Amino acid sequence: MDAVLDDLARHWPLYAAIPFIAALIGYVTKRVAIEMMFRPLEFVGIPPLLGWQGVVPKHGGRMAAVATDLLTSNLIDLQEIFGKIDPDLITRRIEQPLLRAVDGIAREVLEEYHPRMWEVLPSMAQELLIKQVQASTPRLVRELMDEVRDNLDEVLDVKDMTVQNLTKDKALLVRLIRETSRPEMTFIARAGIVFGFTLGLIQAITWALTKQPLVLPIFGGCIGLFTDWLAIKLIFVPREPIRLFRRFTVQGKFQRRRAEVARQYGEMIAHEVLTVPNLMDAILRGPRSDRLLAMVQRTVAKAIDQQASVAKPVVAMAVGGKRLQEMKQAAATKALAQFPDTVRQAEGYLTEAMDVAKMVEQRMNDLTPIEFEGLLRPAFRQDEWKLILVGGVIGFLVGELQVLVMLH
């Protein structure tokens, strides 16, 4: 014991440094583990084994599917979202671009499919015909919107849309997880300092008693392994608040932040995933877009038939039944092509009316603790053992460096 005390007295700066170095090990291993979760977006190194790709972007497809299942099963109701849109109000918002689009479509179709008839019509008659078509357009838009809303599942595959957006844009998926879990990541790094310092005190005592060269690297490895594992666990458990000594409440950090996470997640989903342009693109170009085209064709055909109802036999004779059908299809196709530009005028109203952020926030607060945990847990579960192992390896190497310092 005297020899141990004498050694402590002579080398006390080195012994005093051990807990601080251990704290540094704890912090560095956590920061490395966190960055390895999200970076790099693409594989860097020599594939397939010598290199690394961030855990989240590497498993982007699977994580996007998990996030989408949670979103579509628990957090949003498309019928309710679209039910908030007032057809009359949106028709008024897009009235001017809608009338311009109808004017252009009508002129193009008539000039293309019956140029002779269009050319011989006096300009006043042409304008009168266009005005007549325009006058019926708002009613047709409302009818089409009602049909789309009543048959939403037929025209919009929201799961496919969400997975495609999150998979295509890896940076978006990383941002979605990283932004909602930033305090948890900070907690993991800071926890490494506390845990590392505590174990470093034990490490210093053990070295003083044994002087075994393997003590420091083994302890360093254990610090890296244990603190990575413990920090991740403390994010999620306990799921429910537990009272200790009637004074302290213990609960997983992520679970405690439910209200804040719900608000952040709702805003990100509303502004980066379920946006009006993304929804319009999914409806117009998604796997079920052919059904929307069929709806538009029916609506346009009905409008043309109504406009030509008085002189339908004459029109059919002049244009030809087959040619008339082609005109209807061409008008529907051109109407769909103009749709995004027309609806863009009402994007602000649609975003405000649908209020996706509020719906997601409210429903997230109603999730069970296990369901809520599922929002973030997959990001850690994928290749979690690799992250913990890296922490252990870094801790071991730093411990070996400590040995070299202590022995010299």
pTM, entire model: 0.77
For residue 382, pLDDT beyond 70: no
The string of pLDDT tens digits covering residues 268-299 is 999 999 998 998 888 888 888 888 888 888 88
Q: What is the model's pLDDT at position 310?
A: 47
Nearest to 283 by CA among 377, 164, 153: 153
The string of pLDDT tens digits covering residues 346-375 is 888 889 999 999 999 999 999 888 888 887
Q: What is the model's pLDDT at position 314?
A: 46
For residue 263, pLDDT beyond 90: yes
Q: What is the model's pLDDT at position 360?
A: 93
φ/ψ of 310, rounded to 5, equals -65, -45
**What one-character-per-residue DSSP string does 256-303 give?**
HTHHHHHHHHHHHIIIIIS-HHHHHHHHHHSTTHHHHHHHHHHHHHHH
**Average pLDDT of the residues of the chain:** 80
Averaged over 176-196, what is the pLDDT?
84
Q: Using an 8 Å Cβ cutoff, are 134 and 99 in contact?
A: yes
For residue 220, pLDDT beyond 60: yes
Q: What is the model's pLDDT at position 264?
A: 92
Q: What is the model's pLDDT at position 379?
A: 65
Averaged over 3-25, what is the pLDDT?
80
Q: What is the model's pLDDT at position 311?
A: 44
Q: How far apart are CA 79 and CA 156, in angstroms?
A: 11
- 332: how many CB neighbours lie within 10 A of its CB? 23
Assign 16 a pLDDT band (cuts: 50, 70, 90).
confident
Assign 344 a pLDDT band (cuts: 50, 70, 90).
confident
For residue 90, pLDDT beyond 60: yes
Q: Pick the residue with more confidence: 262 or 126?
A: 262
Averaged over 255-275, what is the pLDDT?
91
Q: Which residues, at least 6 apart from 246, have a Cβ–Cβ distance to it below 8 Å?
A: none
For residue 52, pLDDT beyond 90: no
